[in-house]
Amino acid sequence: MTAKTLSKENFKKFAENLVKSERTIGVKAKETKYEFGNINNADEIVMDYDVTLRSPRTFFQPPKEKLFDFKLGANTEIKPNIEADPFVLLGIHSYDLKALNQMDIIWDENNADQHYKARRNAATVIALEPTQASEWSFWGSMDSSTVDKGYDLLLTDIGNKYYVEVGTEKGANLLSKYASAEDATNDDNTARDKVRSELPNLCKADRKVKCDTDGITASMKNSYNNAIWEKLAEKCYSCGSCNLVCPTCYCFDVKDTIELDLATGQRTRKWDGCLLEPFAKVAGDENFRENRADRFRHRILRKTVYVADKLNGELACVGCGRCSSTCLPDITDPVKILNELCS
């Protein structure tokens, strides 16, 4: 589609208009970190963040989500809860968008999940190519510094202005409604290409996965019985933090709650994690992944082999580095594991 540019000033106006008229979710500061949240005031928006605490999956698969309400009685009623309030997701980094694109496939394959799809369709995605990398980021090594689909608009900071790639009609309309953008010139195109080509270098030099992404799945398949799993998992808390911050983790638990009237209630789903001890337990206390090491390995293999299978071989780790930074015993960093296991 077409390409435009927005001066930083015009971007500010665009953001102000957006915030005034649309439910806008963007990045803002949270203590020493950043997080996605509702933006009520354009001044809150941070565009040069490194990474957010939680991934944007929060807005497509909330931590806790009502699936349906029910009412017991002679005529039991079940009322599915599909939430589809339109919103604009502003400033999602390329690697997170890559993850979102993967989730689009996962939630759609075989049985399409209406809850996810409704939210996904309600979203207008304004993606952003990163200008900062966290000390843990390694998206530069995971083919995730840029994306070529999934956005309505894609912004690249090219100095005093944003280069705006228009991905969809929806994006084009949004832009024309709220911004005064200019057509991108050849110079702009060149500037943007230059910024893009240097994106991977934003990640620190010691945050490189040394092997080729294509070879990872094969190497990981061979490492099932490697001693590394036992060695690292010895220090694992089974806390699931690595699961919960990951943009490509999507497992959930389902729970019923009944109100004190004992007649009405809801079924909800809640983020879950395969590192948690009860995850694969069944009645009678049989646990199909009883050892920490089994669970620990499962997550890494899911990212590199099992889910990758469902994605035509694309790795389900996008290199955001969230799991690495959140793991207190510092055992789960994909960079270290991949570099040790892949030749």
Ligand X SMILES: Cc1cc2nc3c(=O)[nH]c(=O)nc-3n(C[C@H](O)[C@H](O)[C@H](O)COP(=O)(O)OP(=O)(O)OC[C@H]3O[C@@H](n4cnc5c(N)ncnc54)[C@H](O)[C@@H]3O)c2cc1C
Q: Collapse the DSSP code of 69 into the 3-class scheme (helix H, G, I; strand E, B; otherwise coil) and give the result.
A: strand
* Rounded alpha-carbon distances, angstroms, from residue 204 to 21, 36, 135, 324: 39, 24, 7, 14
Where does 18-160 show beta strands of DSSP type E? 24-30, 33-38, 64-71, 77-80, 87-93, 123-128, 153-157
Order of strands across the sheet that contains 161-166: 33-38, 24-30, 87-93, 123-128, 153-157, 161-166, 3-7, 182-183
CA-CA distance, 339 to 62, in Å (whole number)? 33
Q: Using an 8 Å Cβ cutoff, are 21 and 84 in contact?
A: no
Q: Which is nearer to other proteins, 76 or 121 (CB)?
A: 76
Is residue 74 near ligand X by the rule CB under 6 A? no
Shortest spacing between CB 299 and other proteins, in angstroms:
11
Q: Which is nearer to other proteins, 5 or 137 (CB)?
A: 137
Binding mask 114-153 for other proteins (x = CB under 8 A): xx--------------------------------------
Is residue 282 near ligand X by the rule CB under 6 A? yes
Residues between 203 and 262 that touch ligand SF4 (CB under 6 A): 236-242, 245-248
Out of 251, 311, 336, 339, point to the residue binding other proteins (CB under 8 A).
251
Q: Which is nearer to ligand X, 230 or 294 (CB)?
A: 294
Shortest spacing between CB 113 and other proteins, in angstroms:
6
Q: Using an 8 Å Cβ cutoff, are 300 and 220 in contact?
A: yes
Out of 283, 288, 312, 343, point to the residue binding ligand X (CB under 6 A).
283
Is residue 59 near other proteins by the rule CB under 8 A? no
What's the gap between Cα 156 and its chain centre?
19
Is residue 140 near ligand SF4 by the rule CB under 6 A? no
Q: Which residues bind ligand X (CB under 6 A)?
A: 282-283
